[in-house]
Structure 1
Amino acid sequence: MKSIIHQVPYHSQWESADLVPDILDGTVLAADDPLWARSGAASPEEYEYWSWRLCGMACLRMALEFWWGVSPAPVALAEECLAAGAYVRHPDGRLDGLIHVPFAAYVHERWGLAAEARSPLPAEELPALLEAGRLAMLSVHPSIRTLDPQPPHTGGHLVLAVGAGPEELLIHNPSGFPDGSQSFARVPWGDLGRFYAGRGIVLGPYPA
């Protein structure tokens, strides 16, 4: 397998990427992120609510900036996805999603990208997809940021596959740490299965 790396810009799901460790361990509230207004949220409280749920929007922003040169505000994207049925918000505040099939339809209709919800999406297919010029949003456990030896389950968080080589997959992780697990984070193929739920969304421009 030859190595392929797409030079995709990185976005965290929090506006201050350097604060991710402190937000995750609770020493800083997301609402206190000094850059919260960049998210498109109307208030720090709205940002607090959405920021924990924006991994898919961060992945979409990366793809849109890579191919189209645009980086829409993540909360604005989330509200569009809510209207498209890719999220379902309950009266008690619970949020279902990101729901892959309606999200893929939204990406196609709104942004003109080919988007295919794949379940299963075998890890073995990822190198060929990347070599063909695609990117893939993958459902993984969030502890992939530290390569936790015993994650409690697979899935629950979205990362963007941006490269691959004989030994590893390269991902942009919206909730990664700034010590090396945010952009072009290396996940050895032998470790990926502990975190990866075997499903995702394949993105790419349509052929000219």
Structure 2
Amino acid sequence: MAARAGPGAAVIPPFFGQWESAERIGDILSGALRAEDDPLWPRSGARDAAEYAEWADHLCGVACLRMALGARGIAPPRAFDLARELTTRGGYVVQPDGFIRGLIYAPAASWLAEAHGIAAEVRVDMPAEAIPALVAKGGMFVASVHPWVRWQEREPPSRGGHLVLVFAAAGDVLRFHNPSGHSPAAQADTRLPVADFARFYAGRGIWLPG
């Protein structure tokens, strides 16, 4: 269940990583641990370790949707159960060369509405400065950022390519969960000023109004 910090405080969603062993994500990213050797992979719902390793790198969007459901008190499906459902809806597309494309926003937004009655809107050309208003009063924003957002001091080579769940703002500081954070501090309730977030942010995502 989501945690509450007190009257009027932000609802902090439960954290889910793209890989099941959150404490091992740093090792997986560095290559010190193969994804298929994640001891918790069966929990994901993958058919086998090979499928888990192939898909987990693409499941940042699935993780964000699962966290958003948890924030609303809804028990989320397993990661691969959700990935398969979204694939049938066009939310993921496996291309002829085997590349997995997604998360594609519109099918994901439709799934939230149809499966759980959660209003969701695809937003494009949305400046970072507008995000605090989006997450006011319980809203959440699945934002496209460069994966280097886990290293906030770095200058990313581009913007986008990864998804995080922004669930609150304190003044001009955004609070978000990063499914591929390499450390606990980079995973849950990470905080970054809007101006710095903008360096990673691609200007698009999925808004879940409060």
Question: Aligning the two structures, in what range does the TM-score lie when normalised by the shorter sequence?
Answer: over 0.9
Q: Note the residue ranges of structure 2 that are not aligned, 5 or more in a row.
A: 1-7
For 1:185-206, what per-residue CA distance to the aligned partner results, in whole angstroms no more than 9, with x for missing partners?
Answer: 011222111100010101146x
Matched, 1:201 2:206: yes
- Identify which of 77, 87, 90 aligns with 2:92: 87
Q: How does 1:18-167 map to 2 (within 5 A)?
A: 18-167=23-172
Structure 2 distance, partners of 1:132, 1:189, is 18
For 1:20-49, what per-residue CA distance to the aligned partner results, in whole angstroms no more than 9, with x for missing partners?
Answer: 111001110110000000100010001101
Q: What TM-score, normalized to structure 2?
A: 0.92
Q: Note the residue ranges of structure 1 that are not aligned, 5 or more in a row.
A: none
- Identify which of 180, 184, 208 aligns with 2:185: 180
Structure 2 distance, partners of 1:159, 1:148, is 17
Structure 2 distance, partners of 1:64, 1:160, is 11
Report the aligned-residue RMSD: 1.5
Structure 2 distance, partners of 1:4, 1:163, is 9
For 1:126-157, what per-residue CA distance to the aligned partner results, in whole angstroms no more than 9, with x for missing partners?
Answer: 22222232110000000001114320100000
Aligned residues between the structures: 203
Instruction: Quote how far apart the aligned CAs of 1:116 are.
Output: 0.5
Runs ≥4 residues deviating over 4 A: none
Query: What's the secondary structure of 1:68's corresponding residue?
Result: coil
The higher relative CO (CA closer than 8 Å, separation ≥ 6) is in 1
Q: What TM-score, normalized to structure 1?
A: 0.92
- Identity across aligned pairs (percent)? 46
